[in-house]
Amino acid sequence: MPDPSTPVVTRFAPSPTGELHVGGARTALFAWAYTRRHHGTFLLRFEDTDQKRSSKQAEQNILRDLDWLGLTADNGDDIPRQSERLPLYDEAVEKLVSGGRAYEDDGAVRFRMDRDIAFEDAVYGPIAVEAKDLEDFVIRKADGFPTFHLAVVVDDADMGVTHVIRGQEHLTNTTKHAALCDALGLPRPVWCHTPSILNPDGSKMSKRDKAKAARAAAKAGGWPSPGPVEPPRYDAFIAKDNDDLDIATAIAEANGLELPEINVADFRRSGYTPATLLNYLALLGWNPGNDLERFDLDFLTTHFGLDRIGKSNSKFDRQKLAAFSQDDIARMPPEVWGQKLRAHFDDYHPDFTAALGEHFDLFAGMYQERSKTLDDPATLGAFFFTPPTDYQPKAVKKNLTKNDGEGLKNLAHTRDALANHDDWSADALHARLDALWQELNLKNMGGVAQPLRVALTGAAVSPEIGPTLVLLAKTETLQRIDACLAQVQAA
């Protein structure tokens, strides 16, 4: 155990074999928050001892996502890679071999697990395993690379890491690490294992889930082979012989399916802000000890502690995340919402931004209070650029054809009123329609607004009618009303 007076040093040590997963993000968050709370140092390290699966691209992506989250490491550009530190591990291996604690085996080197091991975990408490339940394990592979177990122990000691905060899947491995520390004469760090994040069905949240969801969609859709994928690979995918992401994506597109968000980048694309994601993630397994749920990184910086991390796994609830997100969006000053929405649209919906042109702020304003994510306006507002081709039967009946076509008559009146109306501003349009329903002796504004919504959107839902008309512009508005009148009357 490190001296309590020594400064805290933590690290986040992903293996660069893929995108940053939300589970990894939470681990990084916990380590980051703990470090900031104790004015320590938060380090990043790449565990690339698996030569085949590691890539520089993955490193870049992880860096990009950590940066987006705002979990910046203190070692900047000086990020250790295990592949570049081989002599350090060789030295440790030699020491263990010459001390009789490790031995050669088929070109690899194995460590002897011949004693009882006990350690204290900051979350799970005391853990003890007897020697008879332990097996010797490889510390250096035949390719000369250390295994993860040796590398972590050597690196953590070399980097002065005092607290190892990582996923619970390493809890059992920790007996190996403790034994290695002892045999090497290295100080044991404080180990802190965090519970896992699960899918709603209780399975572990993983990249595989995308392939699973795509397979289910393909099955439901009658297994149509999506165009861009060559049949042999597609068949292999369906047979679960591969989980290739590009196939999953192609299937999702062909079936209009959203693949489940798993990686930080997925949530970013879905339109969650880092603040919302981090808040939700922090609460998954940690809480401040009272009813407070909404907080930011500054709060964690002053309140986060290892002692309040729970022991049981938790299921990832997207609805609660969405609720947090909607709430965060609702509370943003309008100009902040506008900026964030624009940045998101620039990245993911550039055509939409271009089409909105000068009306972007108006558009942003009308969707702030009805969006759960930065991406919602793109789907909710899609009707602005694609006129309805058919009209929802229920909406038509309720708002147009019922009572002898009362709605259709009102829609025709509305068309005339708008055609003769020149001030195409939201306020003026609202005032005109407000006057119209009274002229027509209707019960309320719905009498004119609802038929109009059906004509403009194909369904009975839209934001406020004034701004909606402004965005659509006069010509398009009248065209859609005429098209609706013609199509519904003909039917």
Binding to RNA, residues 317-356 (CB under 7 A): 317, 319-320, 322-323, 326-327, 330
Residue with token string 């681990």: 27
Residue type present at position 428? A
Which of 10, 15, 27, 325 forms a contact with RNA (CB under 7 A)?
15
| CA distance between the termini of the chain | 80
Range 143-162, binding RNA (CB under 7 A): 143, 145, 147-149
Binding mask 123-142 for RNA (x = CB under 7 A): -xx-xxx---x-x-xx--xx
Binding mask 292-321 for RNA (x = CB under 7 A): -x--------------x-xxxxxx-x-xx-
What residue spans of 292-333 are helical by DSSP H? 297-303, 318-331
The 3-class secondary structure across 104-133, one letter per residue, is EECCEEEECCCCCEEEEECCCEEEEECHHH
Instruction: Decide: is 99 part of the binding site for RNA (CB under 7 A).
Output: no
Q: Which residues contact 148 (CB under 8 A, 6 or more apart)?
A: 15, 47, 49
Binding mask 193-232 for RNA (x = CB under 7 A): --xx-x-x-xxx----------------------------
DSSP letters, 445-472, are: THHHHHHHHHHHHSSS--S-HHHHHHHH
Indicate the residue among 196 and 487 with the shorter CB distance to RNA: 196
- Nearest approach in angstroms of CB 144 to RNA is 9
The vertex-463 CA angle with 461 and 469, nearest 5°, equals 105
Which of 108, 186, 236, 362 forms a contact with RNA (CB under 7 A)?
108
- Nearest approach in angstroms of CB 234 to RNA is 26
Instruction: Decide: is 115 part of the binding site for RNA (CB under 7 A).
Output: no
Tokens of 23: 């589970």
Tokens of 439: 């002229």
Count of chain residues binding RNA (CB under 7 A): 78
Angle between helices 360-367 and 334-348 (to 10 degrees): 110
Range 422-451, binding RNA (CB under 7 A): 430, 444-446, 449-450
Instruction: Decide: is 285 part of the binding site for RNA (CB under 7 A).
Output: yes
Distance, in Å, from the CA atom of 240 to the CA atom of 244, rounded to the nearest integer, reads 10
Distance, in Å, from the CA atom of 334 to the CA atom of 317, rounded to the nearest integer, reads 28
- Nearest approach in angstroms of CB 107 to RNA is 5
- Nearest approach in angstroms of CB 301 to RNA is 20
Indicate the residue among 5 and 386 with the shorter CB distance to RNA: 386
Helix (H, G, I), strand (E, B) or coil at 2: coil
Residue type present at position 231? P
Range 373-412, binding RNA (CB under 7 A): none
Indicate the residue among 47 and 65 with the shorter CB distance to RNA: 47
